[in-house]
A and B are shown apart, each in its own frame.
Chain A
C-alpha cells in the first residue's frame, strides 16, 4: 500500500518537469502571441489595443498570399522529390551487394550535416564560379545565375532536397526490412513479376511509413528557416519569401513590428495545425 502511494507520486514527479517546460516554451507563448496580435505599435510608441487591425492589414496585402503560396510550392515540391529519391535509394540499398554497408552509412551524410552547413556547401555550388556552373561549362552549356529571381526557388528546393532525402531513405529502409520475406517467396511461387511484387506487397506494406515520413518532413520543410535565410534571404524581391522568413522579417528586419509578426504567425498557424492534426493521427496516438 505504501509502495503504491509512493509509486503514484513518482509517476507525476517524473513527468512534471517536462510538462512544466513544455507549458512555458509552447503554451504560454501561444497565448501571449494571440494577445499580442490584437495590439498595434505606432512608430516610436508603446503598443495599444487595436482589435483586428493587424489581421486586416495582412489579409489585404499581396505579400501575405505570396508567402503562403511560396511556402506551399517550396515544401510540396521538395517533399515530393525527397520521397521519390528516398524510395529509390531504399529499394537499391535493400538489395544485397558488395559495398552496401558503406553506402548505407554514407547516404546519411547530407542529413547528418547541419542545415547551415548544407547552405554553405551550396553557396559554393551556386556561385557563378562554383560547382554547378563548372559542370555546365564542362558539358558545353551556358552557366546559370542560380540565385536570380527566376531560379532562386528551384535553387532553394534543390538544396532542401539534397539535405532532407536521407530521412526518407532511413524511414523506408527500416520499413522495407520489416516486411516478412515469405510474402515475396509466396509471390515468387505464383510467378509474380518484380513490378507486381512492388505494387502489391512493397507499397501497401510501406504505406504507413510513407505517410508518417511524408507528413513529418512536410512539417519540417514548411518550417525551414536556415537554408532559405542563408542562401537567398527570401529574395530576390519575394521569389523565395516563405512563412518562416517573412515572420522573421516582419519582427526583426523590415518592419520591426512585433504585434504584426504575432498576427502573421497566428494567421498562418491553421495551415500548420491542419498538418499537425494529420501527423498526430498518423502517428497513432
Chain B
C-alpha cells in the first residue's frame, strides 16, 4: 500500500529522470541526426531518410563531399582517416608512456618510505592541478629548440603533462588498495622484489592500469591547444584541429561531414567509458578526491 510520501517520491523520480534524459539528449541530438541525414536535409529537425555516407566519407571522401566543403576542408581534401590516425598515435604514445612511468612512481609512492617522498607527492599533485596552458609560450619555444616542433612525438611528449600526473596519482591510490601481504608472501617464497611486482602486483592492478590508460588516452585525445601551437602541417593535424576545417567565417560549410567527424571522435571514448564506468568513477574519485 503506497503511502503519500512514497507517491511524492515516485513523482519526483519520474519527473527528475525525464528531465535528466532530456537535458542529456536534446543538446546532442542535432549533430547525431545530421550525421545520418542526406546533405540537403542537414537543417531539418527530422530527416526523411537515413544515410551512412558522411561516415564513409571520413575514410574515403567523395568528390561531391570535397566540393561541398568550401572552407579549409576543400583545400585540404585528405580523408579524415589521416587526422584520426594522427590522434590515435599521439594519444597512444602519451598514454602508454604516462601510464608506464606513472605506475612505477605510483607504486613507489604507495609502498615505500624514503626521504624526499613528501616532496615528490607534492610535485605530482602540483603538476596534476597546474593549469598547463599558462606554459604554452615556454613549452612552444623549448619544443622548437629541441627540434620536435611540428612532430607527433613532440606533441605526445607535451601531452605527458596531462597523462603522467594523473596516472601517478591514480596508480598510487590503486596500489594502496592492494594488500602488502600479497607481496610479502611472494618475497618469503623466494621471489625478488621485481618478480613479486611483476607476477603478483601487476596482474591484480590490471583494472587500475586500464582506468589510467583510458583516462590518459582521452586527456590526450581531447587536447586542442597544444596541437594548435605545436603542429604546423596539415598532414600532422589531429582530430580536434581537423574539425575546425568545416567552418568558414563561423558558418558550418559541410554539416554532415562535420557531424560525422564529431560523433566518430566522441563515440570512441563514450563507448569505452560506459563499459568501464565503475572503474572510471573509482579511479577519478580516489585519484583526485581523498575520502
Binding site for B on A (CB under 8 A): 3, 6-8, 10-12, 14-15, 17-19, 21-22, 25-26, 28-30, 32-33, 36, 85, 88-89, 92, 95, 97, 99, 103-118, 120-125, 127, 129-131, 134-135, 147, 162, 167, 170-171, 173-175, 178, 208-209, 212-213, 216, 219, 222-223, 225-226, 229-230, 244, 247-248, 251-252, 258, 261-262, 265, 268-269, 272, 275-276, 279-280, 283-285
Contact = CB atoms under 8 A, between A and B. Distances in A.
Contact of A29 (B107, B139, B262, B272): B139
Query: Size range of the interface on B?
Result: 35 or more
A131 B26 contact: yes
Given A11-B108, A26-B130, A121-B266, 17 more contacts: A15-B108, A18-B102, A19-B105, A19-B123, A29-B142, A32-B138, A92-B13, A92-B20, A107-B24, A114-B269, A120-B261, A124-B259, A131-B27, A174-B281, A222-B131, A247-B134, A248-B133
Contact of B120 (A15, A105, A112): A15
A17 to B, nearest CB: 5
Contact of B244 (A12, A230, A247): A230
Contacts of B127: 22, 25-26
Please list the 9 inter-chain residue pairs (A to B) with the smallest Cβ-Cβ separation, ordered nearest first.
Answer: A14-B108, A117-B266, A18-B105, A29-B138, A112-B273, A120-B262, A124-B30, A223-B131, A114-B222
Contacts, number: 284
A262 B263 CA distance: 36
Contacts of B247: 123
Taking chain B's interface residues, is the majority helix, strand, or loop, or is none over half, making it mixed? helix
A26 B112 CA distance: 25
B133 A223 contact: yes
Taking chain A's interface residues, is the majority helix, strand, or loop, or is none over half, making it mixed? helix
A225 B224 contact: yes
A17 B104 contact: yes
